[in-house]
């Protein structure tokens, strides 16, 4: 059985989910649904990698380097990865891509879906690697870098299949010309644009990399993965698995390669400026993302910083709202691009228990976050740890200027973990510039507004000027909800309403939720719409006169 036929049923289910946007998953998110021995084997593998060169089966590197430090143990991993001179790397990927780009769409789809099964066998290895490079809790590491990332990859493959099979492969075209007809035999083929570079981030090195990586491969392009030097191991494990699948099924694995990097001598600019690099995917800072977007000869997809807001107009049950907000703000210590940052609270908040004062609501939010961070049974799993010491220093400095302190939280398993309770700052609307930029890390700003109208106006200004990936609204007034949805949607910001219980604004479900819109200052990428794939390939049509 060929690989496309082997995976066709799963592919068809994924395509249906894309169209209907219903609940669908291909890779179970509970670790209990995988072999019992996997966790222990992953621990052993992780120990065997520390202090060594990580072999990807690629050509010898021009240099070897590693600078990963576990946010939980504060110890260097000592793992080194190959670094390549950009021209040599691009040349190697280009050579390998010739047969890949000539393969049929069905062949590429079959191999990539098989590759995801190879990756699935390494979910536990990727989980512990993610935990000890990003600071995510173990369960979050497993889900984000394992099944959730694989589901997003499958989503991309399915969208790529739909777009590249929207036309027939060939047709005999006939135009009547009186007593005779003009007949042409026409063929249509999609061709990848060239080499794509995917620039990874330090907090979600797999989840944020997989969409661009698989989008490039499924559209017939070669792919280079350039991880953040602080979080290489999780995506290196995945790249190695995908390369094995390519090799085992007759393709040159160098169609996909990974290069390491040095934070003190980065090669990213030189790499993306190579004339054979046609596509760039990037997650990271706004400044570098803006520079990439200025490269008019490249197809560029970015996910940059945005300012995510919460508008708290009226509530049914304040306790339920506070619990949801506290979790959303605390999850992975605010190191998620979808985390809520600015919480607008008007002077009066209607509720089923009666009108609540601004002070009551603000204090409830503060206490909810403080209690979650002070509970040793739950804090460690929710907060994770800070990936970068610079994040801690920056948040501590901001807190100090506002007369507050960044307090450590307890992690009983890892006493040295860089884990801290979120800082909650208070300002008045329009009186501070503090909340007008992304404040990445364990920090949220409660903004005291005169009324909901002022909150809406401030929120829309932020969305227009700074962009946002999420917006969360609590209101029992449906007309107001409709107005906010319209105003935010016109600025290409999606809105979630009245979330309580086990659904949080931070989390997006593959095949149903669109991650980002690609339409505002927060970035040009949307996981996963047609635009995320359509510009990675071009259609070429040939014609032959039929006598």
Cα 187 to Cα 322: distance, rounded to the nearest angstrom = 59
Q: What is the CATH number of the domain that holds 369?
A: 3.40.309.10
Alpha-carbon distance of 242 to 120, in angstroms, equals 10
What is each CA distance from 507 to 55, 202, 328, 470, 499, in whole angstroms?
Answer: 33, 18, 9, 10, 12
- Are residues 481 and 475 in contact, defined by beta-carbon separation less than 8 angstroms? yes
H/E element, 472 = strand 471-474
Are 285 and 335 members of one domain?
no
Question: Are residue 291 and residue 431 in the same domain, yes or no?
Answer: no
Pair 301, 314 in one domain: no
Cis bond before residue 528 (omega within 30° of 0) = yes
* 112, 156 Cβ separation under 8 angstroms: no
pLDDT given at position 377: 86
Q: Where are the beta strands (DSSP E) in 297-404?
A: 299-303, 309-312, 342-345, 348-349, 356-357
Q: How far apart are CA 539 and CA 105, in angstroms?
A: 13
- Pairing state between β 63-65 and 81-83: antiparallel
Q: What is the pLDDT of residues 485-502, one digit of tens each?
A: 999 999 999 999 999 999
Place of tokens 């919460």: 310
CATH number (domain holding residue 214): 3.40.605.10
Can you give the pLDDT at residue 547?
82
Region 516-539: what's the mean pLDDT?
Answer: 97
Contact by Cβ (8 Å): 227, 260: yes
Given a contact cutoff of 8 angstroms between Cβ atoms, the answer to whether 447 and 428 are in contact is yes
Any domain includes 520: no
Query: Could you report the per-residue pLDDT of 243-299, keeping only the tens digit for each?
Result: 999 999 999 999 999 999 999 999 999 999 999 999 999 999 999 999 999 999 999
- Max Cα separation, the chain? 90
pLDDT of residue 431: 85
The token duo for 54 is 């990580």
Position 432 scores a pLDDT of 86
CA angle 482, 483, 487 (to 5 degrees): 120
Number of domains in the chain: 2
Give the model confidence (pLDDT) of 85-108 as tens digits: 999 999 999 999 999 999 999 999
Q: Does the pLDDT of residue 376 top 90, yes or no?
A: no
- Retrieve residue 6's tokens: 């082997």
Together in a domain, 187 and 257: yes
141 and 243 housed in the same domain:
yes
Question: Is pLDDT above 90 for 37?
Answer: yes
pLDDT for the residue numbered 309: 98
Q: Which domain holds residue 29?
A: 3-305+531-545
Same domain, 134 and 47: yes
∠ CA 148-150-156 to the nearest 5 degrees?
110
Q: How far apart are CA 81 and CA 87, in angstroms?
A: 18
Backbone torsions φ then ψ of 360, nearest 5 degrees: -65, -45
103 and 223, same domain (yes or no): yes
Give the tens place of pLDDT for each residue, 419-466. Answer: 999 999 999 998 889 999 999 999 999 999 999 999 999 999 999 999
């Amino acid at each position: 059985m060929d690989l496309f036929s082997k995976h066709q049923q799963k592919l068809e289910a994924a395509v249906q989910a894309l169209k209907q946007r219903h609940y669908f998953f291909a890779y179970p998110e509970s670790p209990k649904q995988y072999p019992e021995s996997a966790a222990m084997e992953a621990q052993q593998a992780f120990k065997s990698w520390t202090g060594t060169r990580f072999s990807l089966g690629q050509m010898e590197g021009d240099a070897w380097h590693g600078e990963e430090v576990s946010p939980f143990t504060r110890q260097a991993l000592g793992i080194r990865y190959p670094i390549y001179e950009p021209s040599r790397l691009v040349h190697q990927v280009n050579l390998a891509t010739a047969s890949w780009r000539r393969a049929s769409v069905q062949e590429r789809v079959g191999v990539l879906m098989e590759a995801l099964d190879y990756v699935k066998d390494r979910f536990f290895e990727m989980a512990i690697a993610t935990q000890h490079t990003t600071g995510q809790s173990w369960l979050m590491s497993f889900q984000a870098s394992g099944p959730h990332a694989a589901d997003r990859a499958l989503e991309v493959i399915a969208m790529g299949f739909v777009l590249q099979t929207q036309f027939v492969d060939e047709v005999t075209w006939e135009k009547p010309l009186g007593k005779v007809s003009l007949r042409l035999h026409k063929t249509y083929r999609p061709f990848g644009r060239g080499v794509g570079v995917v620039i990874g981030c330090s907090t979600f090195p797999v989840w944020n990399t997989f969409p661009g990586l698989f989008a490039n491969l499924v559209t017939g392009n070669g792919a280079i993965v350039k991880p953040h030097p602080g979080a290489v191991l999780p995506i290196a494990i995945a790249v190695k698995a995908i390369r094995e699948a390519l090799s085992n099924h007759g393709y040159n694995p160098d169609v996909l390669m990974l290069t390491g990097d040095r934070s003190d001598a980065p090669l990213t600019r030189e790499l993306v400026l190579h004339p054979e690099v046609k596509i760039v995917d990037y997650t990271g800072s706004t400044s570098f993302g803006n520079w990439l977007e200025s490269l008019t000869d490249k197809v560029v997809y970015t996910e940059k910083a945005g300012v995510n807001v919460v508008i708290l107009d009226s509530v049914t049950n304040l306790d339920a709202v506070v619990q949801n907000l506290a979790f959303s703000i605390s999850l992975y210590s605010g190191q998620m691009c979808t985390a809520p940052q600015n919480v607008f609270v008007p002077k009066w908040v209607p509720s089923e228990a009666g009108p609540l004062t601004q002070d009551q609501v603000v204090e409830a939010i503060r206490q909810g976050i403080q209690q979650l961070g002070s509970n040793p049974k739950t804090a460690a799993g929710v907060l994770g740890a800070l990936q970068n010491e610079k994040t801690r220093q920056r948040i501590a400095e901001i807190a100090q200027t506002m007369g507050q302190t960044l307090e450590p939280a307890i992690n009983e398993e890892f006493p040295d973990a860089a884990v801290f309770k979120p800082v909650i700052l208070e300002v008045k609307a329009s009186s501070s510039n503090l909340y007008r930029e992304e404040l990445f890390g364990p920090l949220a700003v409660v903004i005291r507004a005169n009324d909901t109208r002022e909150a809406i106006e401030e929120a829309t200004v932020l969305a227009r000027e700074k962009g946002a990936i999420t917006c969360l609204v609590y209101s029992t007034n449906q007309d107001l909800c409709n107005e906010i949805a319209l105003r935010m949607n016109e600025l290409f910001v999606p809105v979630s309403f009245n979330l309580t219980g086990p659904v949080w604004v931070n989390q997006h479900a593959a095949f149903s939720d669109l991650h980002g819109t690609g339409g505002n200052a927060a970035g040009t990428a949307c996981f996963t719409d047609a635009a995320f794939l359509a510009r990675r390939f071009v259609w070429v049509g040939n014609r032959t006169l039929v006598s």
